[in-house]
Amino acid sequence: MRLNPPTVPATNGRYSHAVRAGDLLFVSGQVAVDASGEVVAPGDMTAQTEVVYDHLRLILEDQGATFADVVHIRTFLTEMDGLLDHAAVRGRHVPSPPPASTTVEVSRLFRPGLVVEVELVADLAGSGR
């Protein structure tokens, strides 16, 4: 089942925000864009991470889930020097113990000014949906 919650800025039509396969929810990489598709706070790791985790939260909520249901997080940063800023925001959203995760530095993301993209997988078996 392909999912595009109306609470999250629309995709460009070439992907879905999430796909549900049985009890697993695969969430596409989320970036800091607003409802008009503009990059939020270009170059600001903290501000962009806040937006990204808000988008992720809305997608999870759409399926009756929370960050406690997340089993894997994959993060792409354009500058590993921003890792601690990213981690501070992530730590406010992701419960302990945290899920499995991967963080990599990439040379750039698909729009100028973007510095972070996060995708995740959630197990919805215990979320009641």
- Output 10 or 79, whichever has higher pLDDT: 79
Task: Report the candidate in 42, 40, 43 with the shortest Cα–Cα distance to residue 53.
Answer: 40
- Give the whole-angstrom CA distance, residue 14 versus residue 88: 32
CA 18, distance to chain mean position in Å, is 10
Average pLDDT over residues 2-22: 87
Domain count, the chain: 1
Which tokens sit at 128?
């009641």
Q: Has residue 33 been placed in a domain?
A: yes
Q: Has residue 40 been placed in a domain?
A: yes
Task: Report the candidate in 117, 21, 2 with the shortest Cα–Cα distance to residue 59.
Answer: 2
For 14-46, what is each residue's pLDDT tens digit?
889 999 999 999 999 999 999 999 999 999 999
pTM, to two decimals: 0.94
Q: Has residue 46 been placed in a domain?
A: yes
Q: Has residue 128 been placed in a domain?
A: no
Q: Which residue(s) pair with 3 in the sheet?
A: 18
Which tokens sit at 98?
């945290």
| Domain residue limits at 61 | 2-123
* Residue 72, domain CATH: 3.30.1330.40
Q: Has residue 129 been placed in a domain?
A: no
For 35-89, what is each residue's pLDDT tens digit?
999 999 999 999 999 999 999 999 999 999 999 999 999 999 999 999 999 999 9
Q: Has residue 92 been placed in a domain?
A: yes
Q: Has residue 75 been placed in a domain?
A: yes
Q: Has residue 95 been placed in a domain?
A: yes
